[in-house]
Amino acid sequence: MFSLQAFSVGNPSNPSLLQKGIFIPDTSWVNVRLGAEAEVIKEKRLTFNSLLNNSFVRARYYSGSCTLNIKERLDLGFNLGTSRVDLKADFQSESDLDKTDVGYLFKAFAKLIIFELRNTTLSFDARFSQSKGNTSEFLQTNDTASLRLKQWQVAAGLTKNFGIFFPYIAGTYNDTQLKIKPTGLRNIRGEQKEKLGLVVGMTLTNHLFFMFNAEGQFFSETSFNLSGEIRF
């Protein structure tokens, strides 16, 4: 087993939360948001084809985001940033801890509002992520190894407005694939063990220019995310 990165969902109302921007007129059918995001991954379990047992990863991700919004109903965007993963693994009956060097992080996402009624919003969300890094030493050897993570997720979320507060809940289906390529050894592959997850979060905004979001994801993984966005 293994644990790895979080995959944030964000508020179901994100496409319509910020109704005015700094530069782009609110009468325009398109607008742009820029933001920053930080994630802490406590546990995400995977099963491996061989060699690794009772393994987990602690990870941290920092990124910037750019979102194109269409008619306050559809978000299309991406994140670029850095990732660092601490790998704990039992390898051939011995335990060791490795750390990857800082690598890149890429995420692409889309969010569509499906239904709105008064203060309640339902939306659909899809995301894809890729990150990689390199260990300086691999599991009590002097060899290096590269780690590559690919992940996709779909989610449906529901939120209700209470003034400036927007609590939300979402269900997720997540699939993660990890490939470890150690020097001198055959590749090690890991796949997601628990694919269904639950997300709970809270967004704070006055609908003008800026919003702040915090969320946690459970069952498929244990992770926490903080983010903020400004509408231009």
pLDDT of residue 42: 83
Contacts of residue 163, defined as CB under 8 A and 6 or more positions apart, other chains included, come to none
Q: What pLDDT band is residue 89 in, cutting at 50, 70 and 90?
A: low
3-state secondary structure (DSSP) of residue 232: coil
Specify the pTM: 0.87
Confidence of residue 88 (pLDDT cuts 50, 70, 90): low
Residue-wise pLDDT for 34-48, tens only, equals 999 999 988 777 777
Region of 93 please: left (phi>0), alpha (psi -120 to 50) or beta: left
Look up the CATH number of domain 14-231. 2.40.160.20
pLDDT of residue 215 exceeding 90, the answer is yes
Element housing 155 (H / E) = strand 145-160
Contact 90, 110 (CB under 8 A): no
Q: Could you give the 3-state DSSP secondary structure of residue 17? A: helix
The strand pairing partners of 229, in sequence order, are 35, 211
Mapped onto helix, strand or coil, the DSSP state of residue 14 is helix
Task: Over range 82-87, report the average pLDDT.
Answer: 75
